[in-house]
Amino acid sequence: MKRRKRVVPDFLRRALRQAIGVGGAVCLGYLIMDPLGGWDSRVATQWLQGCKWAGITIVVVSAPVIGKVAQYSLERTLGTIAGGLLGYTVVVFGHSITELDDVWFTTCTTAVVAFSAAVGGHAIGLDYSFKLFVLTFLLVIMGAERSTDAFLVMLTRVAGIVLGVFLSLLLSVLIFPKSASHEATDSVYYSLAKLADLNRIAWNIEWDKDDDDDKGAGYVYSSGMTRKASTGFVVIDGLDRVTDRPHSTERDRKEADCEQVLMDVYSKLSKCQEFLAVSKSETYLLTLRGRWCFLPGIPWVEIGRWKLPQQELSILATSIRKVARVLWALHVTFQEGFEDEVMQLLRKRYPPDMMPELQLFSQGALDDLKDAFPEAAMVKTTNLHRFLKAVQELIRHSDQQRRAVVRYMQETSAGYISKVRWYSFQFLMQQLADELNDAYVAMSNVLARLPK
């Protein structure tokens, strides 16, 4: 599915749909009045009132995505029909008991209906339907001056509201359509893009933010880092000699940048979960020019229609969150820094290309995840396998060099802290490998269930 940049803002889309719908409903009411008898006809005036309620309905059910419009429309239709029928019944049978303008009868009836609707809406989970149930009930019993008018009032009010629902659904598909299914998948894609950015920050790599997809651009270590070309290791420069940490200003800035990207990942995934629930009210039609096309659907009808793989996408979102947490911990470990003497020792004991490979292959694996979703039939695993192999080499060398490395670390507080950080780094690499592998499995399951 292709992602398209939206030239028209969402609020203008909704404004245009709402203007066309409300204007069309009111215009339709006035145009049909003359054939029905004009202002002197009871049928014509009630028809006009029904069309005005169609316009009100269009405003009420207006929503940014097709699924939300379908959800509001369905609930409003159910509540409207039920409320109209009950109102008509109360008017007809109530007239045989007392006058329609009886204060106590009307008050007690409306109070009981309002109370029952609130309780029923809470019990069934259709609060919006029951609100419209009460509203339509009131429109009928208070709009009918005589019992003989009750059927006409009920018919025009229900027909007007249903007409407004139909126009809203039609306009949501024809005028700048926007679906919850698109929004859910776009949120996953942007969270993957932010995840790749988070990895760059964790390894202190600079990149061109205006051209994230440029595969030819090389990664450059930030000014706060020094890369020893002969060894491949990264050492933090500018250490505070008192605290053995980077200067607080630079350190705080990098931490704030990393935390902002982490929050962006969580925010996008939260939106994905929100749109996944709404996408149940959308029905997939076809793929046109690389873009999925949806129609309003009924969330309870599952037979014969495709929908987004809810469970698979939820698992993928969870995997992305886990990878993000590991990268945040990796960033904190690097920000704390290692003693220069320890890094000198590690350069002698470990292969010179080990750290650059871990950095390069982890970045490549995350970029492959982003590039595969949601168009590709499968995700490339070359960089993932290389990263897994690099992590295995790290652990193997660590096991071989453990005694030699520990022997050179002094039994001081600084030496103990450096030792803990180094083993924390190894643990994080193993954890990142496991979480990336799970993310690839989750991505494969999602891609297999998406239309192409």
Q: Is the pTM of this model over 0.85?
A: no
Instruction: Give every CB contact of residue 169 below 8 A, 6+ residues apart in sequence.
Output: 69, 70, 73, 296
- How would you label 133-163 residue by residue, b for 16+ Cβ within 10 Å and e otherwise? bbbbbbbbbebbeeeebbebbbbbbbbbbbb
**Three-class SS of 177-218:** CCCHHHHHHHHHHHHHHHHHHHHHHHCCEECCCCCCCCCCCC
Pairwise CA distance, residues 124 & 302, whole Å: 20
Contact 137, 87 (CB under 8 A): yes
Phi, psi of 409 (to 5 degrees): -80, 125
Contact 200, 225 (CB under 8 A): no
| Pair of tokens at residue 11 | 């609020």
| Pair of tokens at residue 367 | 């970029």
Pairwise CA distance, residues 93 & 6, whole Å: 55
- Any idea which residue has 């709402």 for tokens? 18
Pairwise CA distance, residues 176 & 183, whole Å: 14
- How would you label 173-209 residue by residue, b for 16+ Cβ within 10 Å and e otherwise? bebebbbbbbbbbbbbbbbbbbbbbbbbbbbbbebee
Per 3-state DSSP, what percentage of the chain is helix, strand, and coil (rounded to 5)? 70, 5, 25
Residue of 268, 290, 273 lying closest to 193 (CA atoms)? 268
| Pair of tokens at residue 196 | 């790749």
What was the pLDDT predicted at 236? 38
Which DSSP letter does residue 280 get? G
Residue of 357, 330, 69 lying closest to 199 (CA atoms)? 330
| Pair of tokens at residue 424 | 């924390």
Which DSSP letter does residue 149 get? G
Pairwise CA distance, residues 257 & 255, whole Å: 5
Pairwise CA distance, residues 328 & 326, whole Å: 5
Pairwise CA distance, residues 96 & 105, whole Å: 12
Instruction: Give every CB contact of residue 90 below 8 A, 6+ residues apart in sequence.
Output: 109, 137, 141
Task: Identify the burial level of 299 via C-beta atoms within 10 angstroms of its C-beta, where 0-12 means exposed, 13-18 middle and 19 or more buried.
Answer: middle
pLDDT in tens, the chain (452 residues): 555 556 778 888 889 999 999 999 999 989 888 888 888 788 888 888 889 889 988 998 888 899 889 988 888 888 989 988 888 888 877 766 655 556 677 788 889 999 998 898 888 878 888 888 898 888 888 776 666 677 888 888 889 989 999 999 999 999 888 899 989 999 999 999 999 999 998 887 543 444 444 443 333 334 334 444 333 444 434 344 344 444 567 777 777 888 899 999 999 999 999 999 888 888 888 888 778 888 888 766 665 567 788 899 999 999 999 999 999 988 887 766 555 555 666 677 777 788 888 999 999 999 999 999 988 889 999 999 999 999 999 888 877 777 766 666 667 676 677 777 777 888 999 999 999 999 999 999 999 998 86
Note the residue count of the chain: 452
Phi, psi of 55 (to 5 degrees): -65, -40
Pairwise CA distance, residues 164 & 115, whole Å: 27
Contact 230, 243 (CB under 8 A): no
Let me know how many helices (H) and strands (E) the chain has, helices first.
13, 6
Contact 128, 69 (CB under 8 A): no
Strands 282-288 and 291-296: antiparallel
Residue type, 94: G
For domain 180-447, which architecture applies? Up-down Bundle (1.20)
Alpha helix (H) ranges present in 96-247?
103-124, 127-143, 150-174, 180-202
Please report, to the nearest 10 degrees, the dihedral formed by the alpha carbons of residues 262, 436, 365, 374 taken in order. -80
Residue type, 112: V
What was the pLDDT predicted at 198? 92
Q: Where are the domains of the chain?
A: 10-174, 180-447
